[in-house]
Amino acid sequence: MSIDVETAARVAKLARIKVAEDALPALAEEFNTILGFIEQLGEVDVDGVEPMVSVTPMRLPRRQDGVTDGGMQDKILANAPDAREGFFAVPKVVE
């Protein structure tokens, strides 16, 4: 499978990373090198093999669905690039 410039642009968009138009051909080429390497996986007979979910055979622990923590608005906002009046501030999302 070969990735063209258009696919590279679509992937960049999905990943929410701005890539300049003139950088796309080089990016597509890098993807093709890496995917070419990954293609080897096609040689393996995986019929009837379960995809791995957890590397250690353990049951995920469960707990009561209750509030165990909270009341730390200041701490949560402390690292925000833009926090106002107790909220994270972002550019306008709805017109």
Q: For residues 36-65, which are near other proteins according to CB under 8 A?
A: 37-44, 46, 49-56, 58, 60-61, 63
Question: Mind giving me the DSSP string for 20-49?
Answer: -GGGHHHHHHHHHHHHHHHGGGGGS--TTP
67 contacts other proteins (rule: CB under 8 A): no
15 binds other proteins (CB under 8 A): yes
Which residues of this protein are in contact with other proteins, per CB under 8 A? 3, 8, 11-12, 14-19, 27, 30-31, 33-35, 37-44, 46, 49-56, 58, 60-61, 63, 72, 75-76, 78-82, 88, 90-93
